[in-house]
Amino acid sequence: MALPALDPAQRQAALDKAAVARRIRADAKQRLKVGELSLEELLAEAATSEPLAKLRVCDVLEAMPAYGPVKAERLMEDLGIASSRRVRGLGVRQRSALLETFAERS
């Protein structure tokens, strides 16, 4: 399927929208990393924020303090979460397992 042809104004609007979404996601990950935002708060915000809902779970976990790519991947495997899963796509059990995991570490 071919992408629709956009006029310059539509293209610029799409680029601006994408830049705003990237800033929202980067800000959320930074707030997670420094402890200003908890995982539970992020998941709650993602229910109403399209950019946060499209965050990959592995990116969220890697932004958690003391987590990197290896620990994040290991945790996702343990909880049965696919590496391509996005926050919006988390099931009820996966969401509760993640929250339970990080509640124990707090």
Question: In degrees rounded to 5, what are phi and psi of residue 2?
Answer: -80, 145
Residue-averaged pLDDT of the chain: 93
- pLDDT higher than threshold 90 for residue 104: no
- Quick one: pLDDT at residue 103? 85
- Quick one: pLDDT at residue 33? 94
Indicate the pTM of the whole model.
0.86
- Quick one: pLDDT at residue 64? 93
Topology adopted by domain 10-105: Helicase, Ruva Protein; domain 3 (1.10.8)
- Asked whether the beta carbons of 59 and 29 are under 8 A apart, the reply is yes
pLDDT band at 102 (very low <50, low <70, confident <90, very high): confident
Identify which of 33, 41, 34, 44 has the alpha carbon closest to the alpha carbon of residue 72: 33
How many beta carbons lie within 10 A of that of residue 27, not counting itself?
Answer: 14
Cα maximum dimension of the chain: 52
Q: CA 33, CA 37: separation in Å to the nearest integer?
A: 8
- Quick one: pLDDT at residue 19? 98
- pLDDT higher than threshold 60 for residue 106: no
Classify 47 as helix, strand or coil.
Answer: coil
